[in-house]
Structure 1
Amino acid sequence: MPTMRDVAVAAGVSTATVSRVANGGQGVDPDLARRVQAVIDELGYRPNLVARGLRKQATRLLALVIPDIENPFFTSLCRGVEDVARRKNFSVMLCNTDEDPGKEAAYLDVLAAHSVSGVIISAASVNSDLSALSRLGIAVVGIGRRLGPDYDCVRSDSEAGARQATRHLLSFGAERVACITGPADVVTSEERLEGYRHALELSGRPIEDELIIHADFREDGAYRAMNQLLDLPTPPDGVFVANNRMTIGAMRACRERGVHIPQQLSLVGFDDLPWADLTSPSITTMRQPTYEIGSAAAKLLLERIEGEDGPGRELVFQPELASRQSSIRRGNTG
């Protein structure tokens, strides 16, 4: 798809001139406007309809579509989005999908019907359909999860974080490390599972299917998954848990079964928890810069709304290991 910059280069003018011509030609010499319009027609350029709408006083409303409003990860992320939006006089509407593709689709239909200025979305599935928004020229930015090459995305490196978490468990004495990840149709679930697998391969250990369980990114799902692992003839002595809420469920199962962390089973979770260093044992996690991810996504979205063209951009943040008691067995210093 040609961009405003492509037209400007072909016509030998600035992008500002292309923008004025594409939006009516006011203030542009008629001969120059005709020349630029001819290039627009030849290349098949289509202007950003959202930016045009803003110039006509369309609503200054952004939508933030997230899968789990109860997850602390999204609390800080939402604040990052809102702080940037408010500085530009935009309001933010929050939509919670509960990881339900049907609920997400209903929200996206509503947002399209109300012509919001832009959408930031953590997609519920790899099959999420954004076509209605795209047809209307509504800017979309993915957050946490990739949407495809045509869309901007801000995320953390889930695969690298999971690899580091698993290698951390191995380095502190765990020999049989399991993974509780999220739904199979969610990008971050598979990225974190791939990081876990890669760490095992690097260590020369086999990948055992019975040690890999797909849960639902919720406490109850991880509780059932951990019980399933503990029921194995040879239970794991280390577990990587692919998000914070599942970490809670996994630890609850261990407590009820009398499995002591980290003496009998070491554990690392993905995403930090506000009280992770206050529990006993304190919880080792892969910490993500959630506020920064939210603010970066909002900045990219506003740039698109203001007319920025070009292919999808991706900003990747690196998660950080917060090493605490749950992963380090007494007497083992790695």
Structure 2
Amino acid sequence: MVTIRDVARYAGVSPATVSRVVNGLTGYSTSTQLRVEEAVLALNYEPDSLARGLKTKQSAVIGVLAPLVSDALASEIMSGVESAARSRGYSVMLGRTGLGSEHAAGYLRTLRTYRAAGVILISAAITADMRRALGSAIPLVSVAIRDGLRFPSLAIDDERAAYDGTRYLIGLGHRHIGLLAGDPQSVLVNTVRERGYLRAMAEAGLPAVLEQGNSLYDSAPPALGRLLRRDPLLTAVFALSDEMAAAVVNDLQRLGRRVPEDVSVLGFDNTRTARHVHPALSTIAQPLEKMGELAVERLLAGTDLRPRILPHRLVERGSTTQVPPG
């Protein structure tokens, strides 16, 4: 029988680190997490959380499939998931998107072997191959994305949220508003948010200027450069993640543009990133930790299959202002 020490030896880490990764705790790097996950899959390791499952046909494990642990949105949702799971006697096993469908399918097959109580998808779409790997008996709940899903979901009205954010900037007097979107191929919700921006701009009779990043910090400066070349008169940028918005603020300052005096910047999500940039970001807030808590509740209840729309709100901070007259 494979033990935690075997997994630790295979991954080149301590047994304590294996325990932290398997139970969804913190205190390890992304590369360490990847090595442990690969060792678990390669050795078919079954942790102690399976003990209950041998009798009940269901283990005390909840799987979570999410972007990289460095992703601010996923990290804050995970805080809610972990808190709610532990209070109910469940451990969390984290898998990551962005490493290819084969890796995700392997992770889901492992959850099936573990007899997981269910799987929570954070800002991630599930392919047919992934669903087959998981099987039909294990329930799914999706968080922060809802379009086209056939299982329970918890999300804000993303189109309305982007519409409201754009209308807010228009209300401040901005007429040249660029949108910095995420990659629609990686997160379907980006396309939904784009629709909200485009609708608000069309209703106001304003030209839409849109460029795509990938929702992460490093993708924003090149996309901002393209926006400014397309419309040198931009007075506002609406970035569809706080990480991209923070990068926009820093890059505008590098270019000698003052935020918000020359260019207002609006983010999306209200993650910790929004509070740690200067000036602090105005942003569209999602109830991220609450989403994680509710996902665990719905997963374990297993009775309500309807999508649930949660409220969003505008948080005004120092990165946006009225357009000066004249």
Same topology, TM > 0.5: yes
TM-score when normalising by structure 1:
0.74
The runs of at least 4 aligned residues of structure 1 exceeding 6 Å deviation read: none
Pair 1:80–1:233, CA change in 2 (3 A): closer
2:296 corresponds to 1:282: no
Distance in 2 (CA, whole Å) between partners of 1:255 and 1:159 is 30
Please, what is the CA RMSD of the aligned residues? 2.5
3-state SS in 2 of match to 1:231: helix
Report the alpha carbon displacement of residue 146 of structure 1 after superposing the two structures with TM. Answer: 2.0
- Paired AA for residue 217 in structure 1: S
Give the structure, 1 or 2, with the largest relative contact order (CA under 8 Å, sep 6 or more).
Answer: 1
2:203 corresponds to 1:202: yes
Identity of aligned residues (%): 25
For 1:1-334, what aligned pairs fall within 5 Å after superposition? 56-98=56-98, 100-125=100-125, 127=127, 129-132=129-132, 135-146=135-146, 148-185=148-185, 186-207=187-208, 211-232=209-230, 234-274=232-272, 276-277=274-275, 279-304=277-302, 308=303, 312-329=305-322
* Conserved 8 A contact 1:101-1:124: no
Q: Deviations over 1:237-261 (max 9, x none)?
A: 2111001111122222212211211
* Conserved 8 A contact 1:229-1:235: no
Distance in 1 (CA, whole Å) between partners of 2:107 and 2:173 is 47
Unmatched runs of 5 consecutive residues or more in structure 1: 1-52
* Conserved 8 A contact 2:61-2:114: no
3-state SS in 2 of match to 1:326: coil
Report the alpha carbon displacement of residue 275 of structure 1 after superposing the two structures with TM. Answer: 5.7
3-state SS in 2 of match to 1:226: helix
Pair 1:169–1:100, CA change in 2 (3 A): farther
Distance in 1 (CA, whole Å) between partners of 2:308 and 2:227 is 36
Distance in 2 (CA, whole Å) between partners of 1:193 and 1:206 is 14
* Conserved 8 A contact 1:242-1:270: yes
Q: Deviations over 1:188-210 (max 9, x none)?
A: 11111111111112212233xxx
3-state SS in 1 of match to 2:265: strand
* Conserved 8 A contact 1:133-1:139: no
Distance in 1 (CA, whole Å) between partners of 2:80 and 2:231 is 46
- Paired AA for residue 315 in structure 2: A
Distance in 2 (CA, whole Å) between partners of 1:147 and 1:173 is 32
3-state SS in 2 of match to 1:65: strand
Q: Deviations over 1:74-121 (max 9, x none)?
A: 233112112222222111112222475454333223323433221001
* Conserved 8 A contact 1:223-1:249: yes
Distance in 1 (CA, whole Å) between partners of 2:65 and 2:314 is 27
Report what 2:5 is aligned to.
none
Pair 1:328–1:140, CA change in 2 (3 A): same
Q: Deviations over 1:274-321 (max 9, x none)?
A: 2634643221011111111111111110012xxx3x7x3211112110
Pair 1:101–1:280, CA change in 2 (3 A): same
Report the alpha carbon displacement of residue 123 of structure 1 after superposing the two structures with TM. Answer: 5.0
* Conserved 8 A contact 2:174-2:323: no
Unmatched runs of 5 consecutive residues or more in structure 2: 1-52
| Greater displacement, 228-237 / 175-184 | 228-237
Report the alpha carbon displacement of residue 226 of structure 1 after superposing the two structures with TM. Answer: 0.7
| Greater displacement, 289-298 / 82-91 | 82-91
* Conserved 8 A contact 1:104-1:124: no
* Conserved 8 A contact 1:289-1:319: yes
3-state SS in 2 of match to 1:285: strand
TM-score when normalising by structure 2:
0.76
- Paired AA for residue 174 in structure 1: H
Report the alpha carbon displacement of residue 233 of structure 1 after superposing the two structures with TM. Answer: 5.5
| Greater displacement, 74-83 / 151-160 | 74-83
Pair 1:161–1:233, CA change in 2 (3 A): closer
- Paired AA for residue 300 in structure 1: R
* Conserved 8 A contact 2:62-2:118: yes
Distance in 2 (CA, whole Å) between partners of 1:298 and 1:158 is 22
Report the alpha carbon displacement of residue 135 of structure 1 after superposing the two structures with TM. Answer: 2.9
Distance in 1 (CA, whole Å) between partners of 2:65 and 2:125 is 13
3-state SS in 2 of match to 1:268: strand
Larger radius of gyration: 1
3-state SS in 2 of match to 1:121: strand
3-state SS in 2 of match to 1:82: helix
